[in-house]
A = this chain, B = another copy of it.
Amino acid sequence: MSRENKTMYTLLGLLMYAPLTGYEIKKTIESSIKHFWQESYGQIYPTLKKLVELGFADFHIEKVDGKPDRKVYTITGVGKSQFINWLEKPIEKIPIHKNELLLKLFYGQHLDIRHNIAQVIQYKQKMEDILQSLNTTEHFLLTKRKEDPHFDYWMMTLSHGQCIVKATIQWCEESIRKLEEKQKG
Interface residues of A (CB under 8 A from B): 6, 9-10, 13, 16, 32-38, 83-84, 87-88, 90-91, 94-111, 115-116, 118-119, 122-123, 126, 130, 149-150, 152-154, 156-157, 159-160, 163-164, 166-168, 170-171, 174-175, 178, 182
Decide: A157 and B106 in contact? CB cutoff 8 A: yes
Considering the chains assembled together, what is the distance between the CA atoms of A104 and B94 in angstroms? 14
A37 / chain B contacts, CB cutoff of 8 Å: 96, 98-99, 102-103
A38 / chain B contacts, CB cutoff of 8 Å: 96, 98
Considering the chains assembled together, what is the distance between the CA atoms of A135 and B106 in angstroms? 17
Considering the chains assembled together, what is the distance between the CA atoms of A83 and B106 in angstroms? 13
**Which of B105, B123, B163, B168 has a CB less than 8 Å from the CB of A157?**
B105
Decide: A167 and B163 in contact? CB cutoff 8 A: yes
Most B Cβ at <10 Å: residue of A10, A122, A157? A157
Considering the chains assembled together, what is the distance between the CA atoms of A153 and B105 in angstroms? 6
Rounded to whole Å, the gap between the CB of A143 and the closest CB of chain B is: 20
Query: Considering only CB atoms, which chain B residue lies closest to A108 in the complex?
Result: B153
- CB within 8 Å for A123 and B163 given contacts A98-B38, A149-B109: no
